[in-house]
Amino acid sequence: MDSLTHIAIGACIGEAMLGKKLGKKAMLWGALANSLPDIDFVAGFWMPTAEELLAHRGFTHSLLFGLIATPALALAADRLHRPHNIRMAQWLLFFGVAVGLHLFMDAFNNYGIGWFEPFNHERISFNAVYVADPFFSFIPALACGAIWWSKKPAAKRKMWWMMGLLMPALYLVYCSFNKWTIDSTVKKAFVQQHIPHQRYFTTPAPLNNWLWFVVAGNDSGYHVGFRSLFDKTDSIHFEYFPRNQHLLDTIADHTDVQQLIRFSQEFYTVEQWNDSLVFNDLRFGQMLGWQNPRGRFVFHYFLQHPDDNKVIVQRGRFKGWNWQVAKGLVKRTMGE
């Protein structure tokens, strides 16, 4: 999830669990704790881009990190707020929930999260919610603002923190149901349209949970398309992108190439753009793909020019967007 969402939900957790004893300071602690795993962004200041991709949502998003951070925050808060009437068990529960929810929520995006680092490098990704979904974030942000600026007693603010936590939880359930529906539909389409594949994934298109990006294929290449929950036909229009593995033959042993392949979870293609060799991670979608089925992939890494890869995951995500493009996205989402 995006940083503002973590801050808002963390603040609501603070109000819910310790607001009566700490007041607004509980919201600040909650926002800090729910944002703490994203401290790994500092790795980008010195790590090469390909290495930093694996470091982000790596160890600081692991269960082990949560077990370390929870008592550390509890001890710090306990010392800073003395004298107080908060038991250490309450501190531990509060920070455990705040940090743990961050690790849980981030698993719903397509980036992947290293729950089991450093013992196992597998990335967990439910692919059920777009990383910046306004329908997920709006209510927690509204609730956080209402609680912060409210001068009413804590009992009167209960409605807001309940909304700020309950509505996102219900939305995650709703998104998970949408994911199950889409997966059921695309599996049938693979059979009906004779789409050969060893692996596939579905993930939401930008800013919503009704239009989904679909990728299916094998080591030879991938079929790419979009499916809306409101589509009236069973078929899906797929475009085929060859993997072009042979283009990596001379550089397959390079560290950045190996790191990119590991990060992509095998969902990648390689292309030659004029004199540049480009690595695409298909998991992050295409630039205006619902409008241009042959559009370039958002995540493209210039293998021969590593210094040109500072902004990589969302490179070009909103390139070319205008009012007409936004209307086109809404229409495609509604099944048109």
**Whether residue 310 sits in one domain with residue 262:** yes
Half-sphere exposure of 16 (CA within 13 A, CB side): 24
Q: Which two tokens stand for residue 31?
A: 């926002």
Q: Is residue 186 part of a domain?
A: no
Assign 317 a pLDDT band (cuts: 50, 70, 90).
confident
Q: Is residue 188 part of a domain?
A: no
**Whether residue 280 sits in one domain with residue 138:** no
Average pLDDT, the chain: 93
**Whether residue 64 sits in one domain with residue 15:** yes
Asked if residue 155 has pLDDT above 80, the reply is: no
CA 295 to CA 288: how far, in whole Å? Answer: 7
**Whether residue 234 sits in one domain with residue 122:** no
Overall number of domains in the chain: 2
**Whether residue 230 sits in one domain with residue 169:** no
CA 298 to CA 111: how far, in whole Å? Answer: 13
Of residues 101 and 321, more confidently modeled: 101
pTM of the model: 0.93
**Whether residue 158 sits in one domain with residue 15:** yes
Q: Identify the domain containing residue 265 by its residue range.
A: 193-333
Give yes or no for a contact between 189 and 236, defined as CB atoms under 8 angstroms apart. Answer: yes
Assign 3 a pLDDT band (cuts: 50, 70, 90).
very high
**Whether residue 161 sits in one domain with residue 16:** yes
Q: In the predicted model, what is the mean pLDDT of residues 277-302?
A: 93
Q: Is residue 206 part of a domain?
A: yes
Of residues 322 and 223, more confidently modeled: 223
- pLDDT one-digit tens code per residue, 94-141: 999 999 999 999 999 999 999 999 999 999 999 999 999 999 999 999
Residue that finishes a domain, picked among 140, 175, 210: 175
Residue that finishes a domain, picked among 175, 209, 242: 175
**Whether residue 198 sits in one domain with residue 104:** no
Q: Is residue 282 part of a domain?
A: yes
**Whether residue 69 sits in one domain with residue 105:** yes
Q: Is residue 181 part of a domain?
A: no
Of residues 312 and 56, more confidently modeled: 56
Q: Which two tokens stand for residue 20?
A: 């009566």
Q: Is residue 261 part of a domain?
A: yes
- pLDDT one-digit tens code per residue, 173-215: 999 999 999 999 999 999 999 999 999 999 999 999 999 999 9
Q: In the predicted model, what is the mean pLDDT of residues 270-291?
A: 93
Residue that finishes a domain, picked among 175, 207, 242: 175
CA 40 to CA 51: how far, in whole Å? Answer: 12
